[in-house]
Chains A and B, each alone.
Chain A
Amino acid sequence: MDILRLIIAGSVDNGKSTLMGRLLYDSKSVMQDQLEAMEKHSRSQAAGCPDLALLTDGLRAEREQGITIDVAYKYFSTTRRKFILADAPGHVQYTRNMVTGCSNSDLAVIMVDARHGLVEQTNRHTLIASMLGVPHLVVAINKMDLVDYAQERFEQITSEFSKLTQGYTFQTLTFIPMCALQGDNVVQPSTHMPWYQGPTLLRFLEQVEVRRHTNLSEARFPVQYVIRQQTSPDYRGYAGKIISGSYRKGDVVRVLPVGMESVISAVEVGGQKVEEACAPRSVVLRLADSVEVKRGDVIVKPDSLPTTTQELEVMLCWLDNKPLLSGNNYLLQLNSSVVQARVGQVAYRVNVTTLRQEPAPEHVAQNDVVKTTLHTDSPLPHDAYTCLRENGGAILIDKTNLATVGACMIQ
């Protein structure tokens, strides 16, 4: 049994909350007391049919203050998989929420209303999922009951969507006709659409093959913490998580950004020696030589090195309500490495609705996606986001209030 992390993109209008509620309800992940609480607070109580959208209801603070806390998480599981479902709220701050939710997702479900087909929002969702490197995309064509379960309509939307995604590189692209309200093709196969032979959404989520961290050629180990113990001889171990590849005793490694080489003398998990460990395991690496290794260093193998430069081309999504100013200095954090970074000239802004490039705005505002350059004060080992997501996504931090203000996909 493994874990699939997914995000469902859409708004209340196209049935996102209903679909999420349906997945939780039909997979029996909603408990009796939660249902009762939901029914008690339901404003529109249709007899015998709980309003599934209420399962993903927000906080009182959000309703009262009109704010949105970016992403909420729901959990459900079947005998095959555990699912972590990110719920990014629809209307307000959409780009910011979607970027955050997609950053950790293996799969995105994009909701399309069968009556309306592709709308502006569909472009936006697809672009962001692609930009954040979400490998698998499912297009849920919902409300099929309102188009008489017509196969022609389904195929029309499928073909339009396939045109839209021509430039994108999703590993899989899957279309599922459904009616979330009644549960058709969510957990149970639909009896209304015999022409659809494919899996239900849950079946697909259970079966889709998620190949994360199997990139064994690029070994990356960012050091988080140095464990020292005064014993004889003194113990020194480098604690961190393998974000890509694998490490074993005897491997020749290089410590970046400085570049000295050594050999792994032991790989340990919880104080026990192991022969080999792979991503995404948290381990301790010990080196044969007494080299100076500190938090923020990256232990790699010399046969596949990351790029180590002070100039980074990035796609930047601005998350803060204060605008980004070119020339400003921020902290840039990539895994455990933190460096100072100056934002250079903005080359262009991506219109996330039309997908076109626009001239650089004077001030980059919240939810803007721009192409720019970052100049760092020291060399930063990194990979291109599209090649190795785990070592190509970084955050910008405001130096004065220490808030996370930007998401960078390094190119």
Chain B
Amino acid sequence: MGTHTLDYLEELESEAIHILREVAGQCERPALLFSGGKDSIVLVHLALKAFRPGTFPFPLLHIDTGHNFQETLDFRDQLVERIGERLIVRHVEDTIQAKALTEPSGRFASRNTLQIHTLLDAIQEFSLDACIGGARRDEEKARAKERVFSVRDAAGQWNPNLQRPELWSTYNGRVQKGQHVRVFPISNWTELDVWEYIQREGIEVPALYFAHEREVVEQQGQLMATSGLFPQGAAAAIRRRVRYRTIGDMTCTAAVPSEAATVAAVIQELLATRVSERGATRLDDQLSEAAMEDRKLKGYF
């Protein structure tokens, strides 16, 4: 008899597949939030394992800020074509026009928080009752408190008082009309787990995650890609060998100096680093101590 126990990646994988299938079993109109980053790519891989040979019981939904790296968008389109699933794209630019929103300006201006409007509009447009996301609890302390099935109120807000106790692996994804749940199948994964899984499964990720030469400017100690999207100030553009630890908007995601050109090298780099993932790269979290908490309360991913 096979009495072997699962190793940690198999256990995390099994847990995530179980969560995805609970969404399919409990929710009527779910969608998978896809950003083109490694965490959402892993989610797609897990969904293939959960539902093949059938089709996904949900579309992929990308909220495009218009400030994405071109490599990310190309990768997204190739992936969607390969798996033959439905992709919905909604553009922050359209929301800005339609709702006459004011774009932030000045230093570190970013459309990061404007995504919330587009996301909540899309949730309403498609009457979504569940949005699957790739957020992990190890990323940030507000996310450390997140449930796997996390209720959002009718205004799309994360109301800590609505959070349900989550016992065993029994998930309650029922919501009242107008509310929805955010579901996080890889809650219990760390950045390292994600990379070790990518390695084991041979999952393809955008080349931005590996060391490459790029023109950057230094802003407050962070290396930002030159893009013409934000005022560069007096800083001169320099060429550096860098990679991205997270892929978000070009305006708020920094590159890190790196020589790691393969998945194995990235794993070695992560084992040695003393700086956290978001600490190294995310200007959006460094605005204040509770920056993520504030965005989550309003309906952020």
**Contact of B165 (CB < 8 Å), options: A33, A227, A407:** A407
A324-362 interface mask toward B, CB cutoff 8 Å, 1 = contact, 0 = none?
000000000111100000000000000000000000000
User: Are B6 and A32 in contact (CB-based, < 8 A)?
Assistant: no
User: Are B137 and A99 in contact (CB-based, < 8 A)?
Assistant: no
**Contact of A224 (CB < 8 Å), options: B14, B18, B167, B172:** B18
Contact partners of A281 in chain B: CB under 8 A: 6, 10, 14
User: Are A282 and B50 in contact (CB-based, < 8 A)?
Assistant: yes
Q: Could you say which of B92-100, B211-219, B269-277 contacts chain A?
A: B269-277
Contact partners of A77 in chain B: CB under 8 A: 190, 192
Contact partners of A334 in chain B: CB under 8 A: 170
Instruction: Answer whether residue A50 sits at the interface, using C-beta atoms and an 8 A cutoff.
Output: no
Q: Could you say which of A169-177, A212-220, A375-383 contacts chain B?
A: A212-220
Complex Cα distance, B170 from A393, in Å, reads 9
Instruction: Answer whether residue B11 sits at the interface, using C-beta atoms and an 8 A cutoff.
Output: yes
Contact partners of B144 in chain A: CB under 8 A: 72-74
Q: Provided the pairs A34-B276, A333-B172 are in contact, do residues A100 and B2 lie with their beta carbons within 8 angstroms?
A: no
Complex Cα distance, B173 from A225, in Å, reads 15
Query: Nearest residue in B to A100 (C-beta to C-beta)?
Result: B165
Complex Cα distance, B170 from A198, in Å, reads 37
**Contact of A67 (CB < 8 Å), options: B54, B160, B275:** B160
Query: Nearest residue in A to B161 (C-beta to C-beta)?
Result: A67
Most buried by A among B163, B175, B297: B163
User: Are A407 and B5 in contact (CB-based, < 8 A)?
Assistant: no
**Contact of A228 (CB < 8 Å), options: B22, B48, B54, B174:** B54
**Contact of A216 (CB < 8 Å), options: B3, B21, B187:** B3
User: Are A212 and B5 in contact (CB-based, < 8 A)?
Assistant: yes
Instruction: Answer whether residue A104 sits at the interface, using C-beta atoms and an 8 A cutoff.
Output: yes
Complex Cα distance, B290 from A46, in Å, reads 24
Instruction: Answer whether residue A295 sits at the interface, using C-beta atoms and an 8 A cutoff.
Output: yes
User: Are A103 and B167 in contact (CB-based, < 8 A)?
Assistant: yes
Instruction: Answer whether residue A139 sits at the interface, using C-beta atoms and an 8 A cutoff.
Output: no
User: Are A2 and B11 in contact (CB-based, < 8 A)?
Assistant: yes
Instruction: Answer whether residue A37 sits at the interface, using C-beta atoms and an 8 A cutoff.
Output: yes
- Tell me the chain B residues, 41-68 only, with Cβ under 8 Å from chain A: 48-55, 57
User: Are B172 and A395 in contact (CB-based, < 8 A)?
Assistant: yes
B188-232 interface mask toward A, CB cutoff 8 Å, 1 = contact, 0 = none?
101011000000000000000000000000000000000000000
Contact partners of A276 in chain B: CB under 8 A: 2
Instruction: Answer whether residue B168 sits at the interface, using C-beta atoms and an 8 A cutoff.
Output: yes
B256-291 interface mask toward A, CB cutoff 8 Å, 1 = contact, 0 = none?
000000000000000001111001100000000110
Instruction: Answer whether residue A363 sits at the interface, using C-beta atoms and an 8 A cutoff.
Output: no
Q: Provided the pairs A278-B3, A282-B14, A397-B172 are in contact, do residues A70 and B165 lie with their beta carbons within 8 angstroms?
A: yes
- Tell me the chain A residues, 39-62 only, with Cβ under 8 Å from chain B: 41, 57-62
- Tell me the chain A residues, 63-98 only, with Cβ under 8 Å from chain B: 65, 67, 69-75, 77, 81-82, 84, 96
Instruction: Answer whether residue B141 sits at the interface, using C-beta atoms and an 8 A cutoff.
Output: yes
Instruction: Answer whether residue B25 sits at the interface, using C-beta atoms and an 8 A cutoff.
Output: yes
User: Are A59 and B290 in contact (CB-based, < 8 A)?
Assistant: yes
Contact partners of B170 in chain A: CB under 8 A: 333-335, 393-395
Complex Cα distance, B13 from A86, in Å, reads 20
User: Are A404 and B142 in contact (CB-based, < 8 A)?
Assistant: no
**Contact of B160 (CB < 8 Å), options: A69, A81, A99, A213:** A69
Contact partners of B24 in chain A: CB under 8 A: 224-225
User: Are A59 and B25 in contact (CB-based, < 8 A)?
Assistant: no
Complex Cα distance, B6 from A1, in Å, reads 9
B171-184 interface mask toward A, CB cutoff 8 Å, 1 = contact, 0 = none?
01011100000000
Complex Cα distance, B291 from A60, in Å, reads 11
User: Are A401 and B176 in contact (CB-based, < 8 A)?
Assistant: yes
Q: Provided the pairs A3-B8, A34-B279 are in contact, do residues A224 and B25 lie with their beta carbons within 8 angstroms?
A: yes
Query: Nearest residue in A to B175 (C-beta to C-beta)?
Result: A402
Contact partners of B15 in chain A: CB under 8 A: 280, 282
Contact partners of B7 in chain A: CB under 8 A: 1-2
Most buried by A among B25, B50, B289: B25
Complex Cα distance, B169 from A240, in Å, reads 12
Instruction: Answer whether residue B31 sits at the interface, using C-beta atoms and an 8 A cutoff.
Output: no
**Contact of B54 (CB < 8 Å), options: A61, A81, A229, A295:** A229
- Tell me the chain A residues, 1-28 only, with Cβ under 8 Å from chain B: 1-3
Complex Cα distance, B1 from A213, in Å, reads 13
Instruction: Answer whether residue B138 sits at the interface, using C-beta atoms and an 8 A cutoff.
Output: yes
User: Are B142 and A33 in contact (CB-based, < 8 A)?
Assistant: no
Give the Cβ gap from B275 to chain A, nearest Cβ, in Å.
5
Instruction: Answer whether residue B249 sits at the interface, using C-beta atoms and an 8 A cutoff.
Output: no
Contact partners of B21 in chain A: CB under 8 A: 224-225, 239-241, 282
Chain A interface (Cβ < 8 Å from any Cβ of B): 1-3, 31-34, 37, 41, 57-62, 65, 67, 69-75, 77, 81-82, 84, 96, 99-100, 103-104, 212-214, 216, 224-225, 227-229, 231, 235, 237, 239-241, 246, 269-271, 276-278, 280-282, 295, 319, 333-336, 389-390, 393-395, 397, 401-404, 407
- A-B CB contact pairs (8 Å), 8 listed: A2-B5, A60-B293, A75-B138, A82-B193, A99-B165, A104-B168, A278-B4, A393-B168
Nearest first, the 7 closest Cβ-Cβ pairs linking A and B are A33-B279, A270-B49, A282-B17, A31-B276, A271-B52, A227-B54, A103-B167
